[in-house]
């Protein structure tokens, strides 16, 4: 441990680790400090018996050599340390009579399936994707430009104009320019649970990059789980002279009388000096660590009005048989079930915890179909996932909490059993992550899994919670800030932060 660093990162999540790696590679002395004893935030693994589970990753968009999203993997110095495994099936979507299997890097095949169900919409589908592709080019152009940041902003109205054009669009607004068909619009936003909001509320600007990135470049897992990515980032930081201090909760962000950042305090390290601090924890935690009085009214008022995202509930199952034995084909990976057409109705039910009837969307991830290194030979693993509201979890007594967790676990297993008869006879390991679990590990309020909700008021370059605080030397990275949540979102937020301020 040194007594002074150029930059200290609070929180070893994907955003913090990526930014620390980018800055360490520039020769700066960095320290990453986290309360947990494992690096990665939501990008971690856990073990139960001989099963290893990836905590949060369902699908990492576009991380293939030559693809746009791979650039951030290369820039963060981990490209030769990790391996990505493509998903043969990007996803399998079912809603009423619609049954669509989207194949790996097969946008044309996907369009054909849409045309099969909506033949009268063929022209509209073509135009919708043609413009979405152009928008993706504008987005990528902006995000991966090597020009200085202010030049990029200046160039936006000319070269990346769709970023501004669709700034106020929801996903539904965008689709509605081309079609009135609600079924088609629901199918197009089949992955909406990845973004935590129904298409009618979700910001198109945030959704539009991964939307095309998934279809054109594919979805991926990280071989050995996302812990491998987090560990690889830690290695790169250390190789470049940086340090990662785990199991050390920061107790204070220290400022001087001029309102400038001068360092942090933790029980383990004592006072450590740095003129720049990057938060990879929630902005609420930043305010409480720094002291409420350090922030002006306008900032606090603004923070009060922002809405954190929804949380999630995932059941992790280790099975004593292969997936093949349950009738799951080797090329299957993720299945989205949407029992009703209205995403908003589903969302309202999810938010209020009404997930017990068959009224809300949920999904299955066949983890070991993509990565069998996570299980022993002859065994398999899968995940059952639903979004779930943040309330009604944190105030329960431990006994009530245990019951609720058990109850919801059973609901998801019952749903899955209808798709996979015989499932219950093969469960060797069953674990569940709840909104309360998310908070335990990350301190995120309510167990929010996507930072601030990605509605149009809270997304986009000019509306997302800023990367720079009103206090000199204090910055934000990760899901809470621009562009937003997700593996690629948080890694991109690190790139933008460093391009802009470091």
- Phi/psi at 72 (5° precision): -75, -30
Q: Round to whole Å and give the CA distance between 293 and 488.
A: 34
Count Cβ atoms below 10 Å from residue 315 Cβ, excluding itself. 24
User: Per CB under 8 A, which region of 14-22, 352-360, 437-445, 448-456 contacts another protein?
Assistant: 437-445
Contacts with another protein, 278-297, as mask; x by CB under 8 A = --------------------
| Among the listed residues 305, 90, 293, 128, the one whose alpha carbon sits nearest the alpha carbon of residue 204 | 128
Q: Is 36 in the site for another protein (CB under 8 A)?
A: yes
Q: Round to whole Å and give the CA distance between 29 and 7.
A: 7
User: Which of 26, 134, 329, 440 is the binder for another protein (CB under 8 A)?
Assistant: 440
Q: Which CB sits closer to another protein, 34 or 453?
A: 34
Q: Round to whole Å and give the CA distance between 128 and 140.
A: 18
Tell me if 371 sits within 8 A of 224, measured CB to CB. yes
User: Which of 441, 469, 482, 487 is the binder for another protein (CB under 8 A)?
Assistant: 441
Tell me if 475 sits within 8 A of 468, measured CB to CB. yes
Q: Is 443 in the site for another protein (CB under 8 A)?
A: no
Q: Is 178 in the site for another protein (CB under 8 A)?
A: no
> Total residues at the site for another protein (CB under 8 A)?
17
Q: How far is the CB of 443 from another protein (least distance, A)?
A: 11
Q: How far is the CB of 405 from another protein (least distance, A)?
A: 10
User: What is the pairing mode between strands 51-54 and 45-48?
Assistant: antiparallel
Q: Which CB sits closer to another protein, 11 or 77?
A: 11
Q: Round to whole Å and give the CA distance between 217 and 167.
A: 24
Q: Which CB sits closer to another protein, 431 or 499?
A: 431
Tell me if 76 sits within 8 A of 22, measured CB to CB. yes
Q: Is 437 in the site for another protein (CB under 8 A)?
A: yes
Task: Find the helix or strand (DSSP H, E) in which 363 lies.
Answer: strand 362-365
Q: How far is the CB of 33 from another protein (least distance, A)?
A: 12
User: Per CB under 8 A, which region of 164-172, 218-226, 246-254, 341-349 contacts another protein?
Assistant: 246-254
Enumerate residues 364-403 that contact another protein by CB under 8 A.
397-399, 402
Helix spans in 169-225 (H): 171-176, 182-188, 204-217
Q: How far is the CB of 51 from another protein (least distance, A)?
A: 12
Binding site for another protein (CB under 8 A): 35-38, 46-48, 247-249, 397-399, 402, 437, 440-441
């Amino acid at each position: 441990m040194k007594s002074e660093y150029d930059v200290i990162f609070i929180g070893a999540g994907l955003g913090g680790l990526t930014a620390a790696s980018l800055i360490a590679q520039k020769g700066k002395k960095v320290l990453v400090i986290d309360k947990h004893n494992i690096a990665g935030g939501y990008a971690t693994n856990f073990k139960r018996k001989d099963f290893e589970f990836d905590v949060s990753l369902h699908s990492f968009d576009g991380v293939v050599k030559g693809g746009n999203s791979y650039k951030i993997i290369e820039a963060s110095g981990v490209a030769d340390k990790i391996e990505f495994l493509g998903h043969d099936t990007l996803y399998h979507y079912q809603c009423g009579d619609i049954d669509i299997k989207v194949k790996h890097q097969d946008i044309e095949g996907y369009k054909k399936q849409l045309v099969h169900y909506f033949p009268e919409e063929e022209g509209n589908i073509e135009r919708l994707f043609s413009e979405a592709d152009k928008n993706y080019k504008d987005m990528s152009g902006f995000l991966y430009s090597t020009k200085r940041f202010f030049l990029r902003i200046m160039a936006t109205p000319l070269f990346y104009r769709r970023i501004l054009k669709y700034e106020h669009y929801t996903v539904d607004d965008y689709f509605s320019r081309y079609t009135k068909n609600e079924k088609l619009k629901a199918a197009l936003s089949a992955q909406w649970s990845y973004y935590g909001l129904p298409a009618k509320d979700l910001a198109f600007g945030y959704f539009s990059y991964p939307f095309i990135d998934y279809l054109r470049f594919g979805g991926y897992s990280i071989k050995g789980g996302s812990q491998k990515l987090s560990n690889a980032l830690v290695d790169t930081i250390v190789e470049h002279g940086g340090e990662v201090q785990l199991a050390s909760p920061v107790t204070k962000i220290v400022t001087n009388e001029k309102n400038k950042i001068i360092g942090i305090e933790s029980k383990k390290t004592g006072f450590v000096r740095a003129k720049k601090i990057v938060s990879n924890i929630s902005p609420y935690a930043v305010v409480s660590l720094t002291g409420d009085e350090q922030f002006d009214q306008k900032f606090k008022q603004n923070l009060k009005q922002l809405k954190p995202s929804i949380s999630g509930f995932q059941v992790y199952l280790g099975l004593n048989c292969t997936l093949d034995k349950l009738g799951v084909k080797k090329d299957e990976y993720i299945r989205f079930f949407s029992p009703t057409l209205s995403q908003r109705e589903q969302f309202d039910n999810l938010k209020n915890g009404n997930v017990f009837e068959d009224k809300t969307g949920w999904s299955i991830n066949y983890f070991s179909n993509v990565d069998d290194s996570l299980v022993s030979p002859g065994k398999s693993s899968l995940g059952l996932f639903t979004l779930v509201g943040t309330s009604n979890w944190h105030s329960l007594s431990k006994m009530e909490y245990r019951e609720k967790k058990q109850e919801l676990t059973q609901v998801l297993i019952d749903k899955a059993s209808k798709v996979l008869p015989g499932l219950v006879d093969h469960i060797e390991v069953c674990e569940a992550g709840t909104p309360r679990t998310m908070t335990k590990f990350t301190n995120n309020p309510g167990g929010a899994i996507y930072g601030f909700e990605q509605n149009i008021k809270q997304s986009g370059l000019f509306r997302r919670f800023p990367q720079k605080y009103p206090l000199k030397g204090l910055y934000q990275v990760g899901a809470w800030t621009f562009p937003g949540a997700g593996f690629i979102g948080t890694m991109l937020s690190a790139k933008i932060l460093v391009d802009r301020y470091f």
